[in-house]
Amino acid sequence: MVLVKPTLCAGCQPIAAFAAQNFFMPPVSALHAAATALTKRDRARPRNRLESCIRRVRIFTSWDRILHRIPPPAPMAEADKDPGKTSIQVIERMMLLLDALASHADPVSLKALSTNTGLHPSTAHRILNDMVACRFVDRSDPGSYRLGMRLLELGNLVKARLSVREAALVPMRALHRLTGQTVNLSVRQGDEIVYIERAYSERSGMQVVRAIGGRAPLHLTSVGKLFLAADEIGRVRAYATRTGLSGHTRTSITDLPKLERELNWVRTNGYARDNEELELGVRCIAAGIYDDSRHLVAGLSLSAPADRLQDSWLENLKDTALQISRGMGFIPEEQPVRAE
């Protein structure tokens, strides 16, 4: 078989290079490309002449590919025509696979991952291979996968940079704007709580007695009761022995049976209260803040004049505490929590 390379007219030459790279371009697109590439004078030619030029270019590029054994470019998939869309799809599929792996304690087969995610096995395999190369996924056995150590490394970096105070600042201020009352963030240190942040304004109408850095006994504060309620009964009794449960006001809890009843109430209701037990004329409610290990790491309390505390603020307080907890990596579950 003798191959004869066709010649190109002057009108064909400007689009020869373009057509060589787009051999499988649809005819309409090729016509448009040719019309753009040719000069104004050439575009004025009849359409049938323009089509003839394009046919010549196609024959020319076919001959060139056969002669030099150059494979034609693969047809472009619809998704590949939009690089942005393709990138988003890959990320979405990667997250589907990671979520599927996270839902299993043991290595998962490719077939199971394909079934769980709805991805074609070849698509899942390709993405998994890329994630194995990046250590986001480990290949435990041939055809089985599990989450990789790179995720643990990144998770530890995120955890090390978490600060409960930083996570709480914006939500605390939003809660203060909503209620107009003082919002406190406190942590436990030994047998006391320490105030580490406060959202406050003169509009609350309440004097701030304890500034940031101030301390108070656990059993006299709403946040302190959260920490005691998370303790085992033996530790609560040891606390009572150490401190003697001394009181500050006539409503302070100063005996162990009453404290144990109060802590049971806290466990049942999911929040704690201070009924003028630390300061006369001031009532508080508190909700816990938890980290990714489900440890109680801080407490968020709302303080108001005793006659001004509204029941409707409780849900706002709980929602804010949950928002801060999520910022610390907490995922709510119906399981008991532990004090850190």
Please, what is the angle between helix 110-117 and helix 121-133, to 10°? 110
Between residues 230 and 204, which one has the greater pLDDT? 230
Assess whether pLDDT exceeds 60 at residue 61: no
Which two three-digit tokens encode residue 269? 């209701």
For 222-273, give the secondary structure using H, E and C: HHHHHHHHHCCHHHHHHHHHHHCCCCCCCCCCCCHHHHHHHHHHHHHHCCEE
- Summarize the confidence of residues 244-255 as an average pLDDT: 95
Which of 17-31, 80-94, 197-211 shows the lowest mean pLDDT across its residues? 17-31
Alpha carbons 321 and 286: distance in angstroms, whole number: 9
Distances (CA, A) of 5 to 51, 71, 166, 300: 19, 18, 72, 82
Collect all residues with Cβ–Cβ distance below 8 Å to 183 and sequence separation of at least 6.
172, 173, 175, 176, 198, 199, 200, 300, 301, 302, 303, 320
Query: Up-side HSE of residue 148: CA atoms within 13 Å toward CB?
Result: 16
Going from the N-terminus, what domains does the chain have, and what CATH number goes with each? 13-68 (no CATH), 79-153 (1.10.10.10), 162-339 (3.30.450.40)
Assess whether pLDDT exceeds 70 at residue 227: yes
Collect all residues with Cβ–Cβ distance below 8 Å to 133 and sequence separation of at least 6.
none
Assess whether pLDDT exceeds 80 at residue 214: yes
- Summarize the confidence of residues 15-43 as an average pLDDT: 48
- The average confidence (pLDDT) of the chain is 80
Confidence of residue 200 (pLDDT cuts 50, 70, 90): confident
**Between the ranges 9-13, 115-119, 336-340, where is the mean pLDDT highest?**
115-119
Assess whether pLDDT exceeds 80 at residue 334: no
Assess whether pLDDT exceeds 90 at residue 267: yes
Assess whether pLDDT exceeds 60 at residue 78: no
Confidence of residue 181 (pLDDT cuts 50, 70, 90): very high
Assess whether pLDDT exceeds 50 at residue 329: yes
Assess whether pLDDT exceeds 80 at residue 35: no
Alpha carbons 322 and 142: distance in angstroms, whole number: 42
- Please, are residues 328 and 290 in contact by the beta-carbon 8 Å criterion? yes
Assess whether pLDDT exceeds 50 at residue 179: yes
- Work out whether strand 182-189 and strand 295-305 pair parallel, antiparallel, or are unpaired: antiparallel
- Summarize the confidence of residues 187-204 as an average pLDDT: 85
Collect all residues with Cβ–Cβ distance below 8 Å to 59 and sequence separation of at least 6.
6
